[in-house]
Amino acid sequence: MEQSTHDDAHGCGAATASRTCGYLSRQSSARWIPTGDQIRILRDLYYNYGLRSPSAEQIQRISAKLRQYGKIEGKNVFYWFQNHKARERQKRRLTTDIRGSCFVGDGAGWSGIEPAAIPAVEWSNRWAIVGQEMSAPGRALETLPLFPTSAQDEVEEGSATAGISNYGVEKAFYCCSGGAGTGASLELTLSSFFYEPPSSV
């Protein structure tokens, strides 16, 4: 789900290819295309190490390290973490997933159900090490907690959120739509689900 499309499937990094891919897969991509190894490491840092907002120094080191797997700049690492974090959060907000599963963990997928990517046991080993070494005042790994964000976050939905006043629809240009005859149903539609509790069906 994550980046199954890319990963290394763009004929770049591949598993053994190991070409100085990075940025270009065939021409001047102008846009960074992470290799499989790069992604793997980044994900490892994110999930297994809880790194979510690397500092400048961290980014430097990470990008420097990842450079051996392909062309990469600091900003790429920076953006990667930004995006990954943001999208994980967004997923939470958009998903109507209200299942009372055990751990939401570091979920990585809209489905909310991730095929046990990171066995929690794995961490303990590393965490321990990192933990003791990290005598620094809560730095480096911003979020050390095994469970990034408590589920307390998305519980707030469902009740209020009744600020239905305006749903961002301010400028409605009744132009293009040819089948304007559906207007009625639209209003009905809008009101129906805009006033309905988010409880699915």
Contact set for DNA, span 75-114 (CB under 7 A): 75-76, 79-80, 82-87, 89-90, 93, 108-110
- Of 117-176, binders to DNA (CB under 7 A) are 118, 120, 122-123
The yes or no reply on residue 10 touching DNA (CB under 7 A) is yes
The yes or no reply on residue 55 touching DNA (CB under 7 A) is: yes
Site for DNA contains 192 (CB under 7 A): no
Q: Among 12, 59, 104, 108, which residue interacts with a copy of itself (rule: CB under 8 A)?
A: 59
What whole-number distance in Å separates Cα of residue 15 and Cα of residue 24? 17
Residue 153 site contact among DNA, a copy of itself, none (CB < 5 to 8 Å, cut-off depends on kind)? none
83 part of the interface to a copy of itself, by CB under 8 A: no
Instruction: Confirm or reject binding of residue 201 to a copy of itself (CB under 8 A).
Output: yes
Closer CB to DNA, residue 34 or residue 50?
A: 34
Residues of span 91-120 touching a copy of itself by CB under 8 A: 91, 93-96, 110
**Residue 10: CB atoms within 10 Å:** 17
Binding residues for a copy of itself restricted to 26-45, rule: CB under 8 A: 37, 40-41, 43-45
Written as one string, the DSSP assignment of the chain is --SSSSTTTTSSSTTTT--S-TT-SSS---S----HHHHHHHHIIIIIS---S--HHHHHHHHHHHGGGS---HHHHHHHHHHHHHHHHHHHHH-------S--TT--STTS-----S-HHHHHHHHHHHHHH--STT-SSS--SSSSS-TTGGGGTTSS---TT--S-------S-S-GGGHHHHHHHHHHHHSS-S---
Q: What minimum distance in Å lies between the beta carbon of 14 and a copy of itself? A: 10
Query: Shortest distance, CB of residue 26 to a copy of itself, whole angstroms?
Result: 19
Start-to-end Cα distance in the chain? 26
Interface positions with DNA (CB under 7 A): 1-6, 9-11, 25, 29-34, 39, 52-53, 55-56, 75-76, 79-80, 82-87, 89-90, 93, 108-110, 118, 120, 122-123
